[in-house]
Amino acid sequence: MAQGALEGVKVLDLTHHVAGPYCTKLLADFGADVVKVERPGGDPARRIPPFYHDETGPDNSLLFLYLNTSKQGVTLNLKTPRGLKMLKELVRDSDVLVENFAPTVMPSLGLDYPTLEEINPSLVVVSISNFGQNGPYRDYKANDIVEYALGGLMYIFGSYDREPLKHALHQAQFKAGTNAASATLMAMYHQRLTGEGQHVDVSIQESIASGLRDVVNNYTNTGAVRRRQPNHSGDLTRIRQTSDGYILPNPGIGAGLNWNGVVDFLEAPELDDDKFSTPSARLANAEELGDILDRIFRTKKKFDMFFAAHEKRFIYGVIQSPEEVLADEQFRHRGYFVEIDHPVTGLITYPGAPFLMEGTPWNAIRPAPTLGQHNSSVFQERLGCAGEDLARMRAMEVI
């Protein structure tokens, strides 16, 4: 296996939950030497469901297992003088430190950026927080749906006759983690050129707001406010139920739609009527059109429609179940999903490389660490701790 693109880069990972661990996972899977530092009780994400076979345990959270591949894991109590001293020793020979605590936590531990810079002037410190390191919201708590709401993105999601919606799961966190990984690489490039470190400040709220793009430009230039989309039954791009699931149709765009082509594709002569031939006519007769389309689609099979639609250059998408995603021939062709063997769970299928690099490929070199798995190797090799030191620190709850 070719070496990873980030081979030799040393990353100190003080992150927990989702955004920070995803940032460091991206770095680790492309070859960085990432040491994940957990409190002795472990990253709280170890207790986030779903769990392997629905059995709770520190090594059974499927979210944690995914977010922490390729990392070494140690435990360290940063509220003890010895634990804090050991962390600072690790800082001395690290290239990057990533943390996603609330903005007050690192200074309260005596680990604010000026202190870290004094220990290691070339260190890149990446801080991920809900609203950034300053501003009136700095110390507010938030979760994914709050970030969507305050970031402005939630306002445009969903149907305009209903309340706003957000994407499922932890998308704001993953977006922030992706931004943080990109920012880390940029700061490292500067570090390599100049020898200088810097403090990178990633706001999850701003990560969400970055998705607004044309919405903000439209408002600032014209005063227009984009609202959520209509959900009338005659909408040609509305999700439709088929005989075996759901499909997302999109036969064309706006006035450029070839209505005769749609009629032929759906094999629906009842749609060959002046009531439906123009956009304004279809809107005026939306309820009747919707009833006809629902009836037609329920006679079809989703994958038959999907492949036939793309022969016509229509933009159709199948709503795939998890089982269908794993069996999808496009994913299989590119080898996207991978199996990783964990000492507790055994082989589990994970999402694979976020992008492909021919010369320095992605590689999940090890499963997520068990709690404190690499205490001996990391503390002995990098800090020179003897075996009896480790036993004594365990007894004193330093590790």
**Do 199 and 127 form a contact (C-beta atoms < 8 A)?**
yes
Do 11 and 71 form a contact (C-beta atoms < 8 A)?
no
What is the rounded CA–CA span in Å between residue 68 and residue 340? 12
In a domain, 4, yes or no: no
167 Rama sector, left if φ>0, alpha if ψ -120 to 50, beta otherwise: beta
Q: Tell me the pLDDT tens digit for each residue of 164-180.
A: 989 899 999 999 999 99
CATH number, domain containing residue 382: 3.40.50.10540
Cα separation of 142 and 126, whole Å? 19
Out of 291, 318, 345, a domain closes at 318
Q: Which of 27 and 212 is assigned the larger pLDDT?
A: 27
CA torsion through residues 183, 185, 186, 187, sign? positive
- Residue recorded with tokens 């933009």: 315
Q: How does pLDDT run across 141-166, given as a tens digit for each residue?
A: 999 999 999 999 999 888 888 899 89
Alpha carbon separation from 159 to 166, 230, 233 (Å, rounded):
12, 6, 12
Q: By C-alpha distance, which of 48, 135, 137, 38 is closest to 78?
A: 38
On whether both 314 and 336 belong to a single domain, the answer is: no
Domain assignment present for 220? no
Please indicate, yes or no, whether residues 21 and 102 belong to a single structural domain of this protein: yes
In the block, tokens 């607004």 appear at 212
Q: Which candidate, 159, 164, 132, 128, places its Cα nearest to that of 145?
A: 164
Q: How many Å from the N-terminal Cα to the C-terminal Cα in the chain?
A: 34
Domain presence at residue 218? no
CATH number of the domain enclosing 256: 3.30.1540
Residues 296, 152 share a domain: no
Q: Domain for residue 384, yes or no?
A: yes
HSE, CB side, 13 Å, CA atoms: give it for residue 301: 3
HSE-up (13 A, CA, CB side) for residue 131: 14
Cα–Cα distance measured from residue 223 to residue 217, given in angstroms and rounded to the nearest whole number: 9
- State whether 114 and 254 are in the same domain: no
Task: For residues 139 and 134, give the distance between their C-alpha atoms in angstroms, rounded to a whole number.
Answer: 9
Do 273 and 380 lie in one domain? The reply is no
107/255 same-domain check: no
Tokens (6 digits) for 203: 């706001």
In a domain, 226, yes or no: no
User: Does a structural domain hold residue 150?
Assistant: yes
What pLDDT is stored for residue 1 in this prediction?
Answer: 62
339 and 270 both lie in a single domain: no
Q: pLDDT over 90 for what percent of the chain?
A: 85
Task: Calculate mean pLDDT across residues 77-99.
Answer: 97
Summarised one tens digit per residue, pLDDT across range 253-309 is 554 578 999 999 999 999 999 999 998 999 899 999 999 999 999 999 999 999 999
Tell me which residue range forms the domain holding 123. Answer: 10-212+331-395
In the chain, the amino acid numbered 186 is M
Average pLDDT on 194-219 reads: 91
Both 311 and 344 in a single domain?
no
As a whole number of angstroms, the distance between CA 335 and CA 333 comes to 6
103 and 156 housed in the same domain: yes
Res 2 pLDDT > 90: no
Q: Is residue 219 part of a domain?
A: no
pLDDT at 255: 47
- 113/64 Cα distance (integer angstroms): 28
What is the amino acid identity at position 153?
L
pLDDT at 100: 98
Does residue 231 belong to any structural domain of this protein? Answer: no
- State the alpha helices, DSSP H only, in the chain: 19-29, 62-67, 81-92, 105-108, 113-119, 144-151, 171-194, 204-209, 214-222, 259-266, 279-284, 286-297, 302-311, 322-327, 329-334, 375-383, 387-395
- The rounded distance, in Å, linking the Cα atoms of 175 and 149 is 15
Same domain (yes/no): 277, 355: no
Boundary-marking domain end, from 269, 285, 318: 318
d(CA 288, CA 290): 5
Last residue of some domain: 284, 318, 352? Answer: 318
Over residues 123-141, the mean pLDDT reads 98
Nearest to 157 by CA among 138, 179, 172: 172
Q: Specify whether 18 is located in the same domain as 131.
A: yes
Identify whether the C-beta of residue 296 lies closer than 8 Å to the C-beta of residue 268.
Answer: yes
Report how many domains make up the chain.
Answer: 2
Same domain assignment for residues 306 and 335: no
CA-nearest of 275, 249, 246 to 262 is 249
Predicted TM-score (pTM) above 0.75: yes
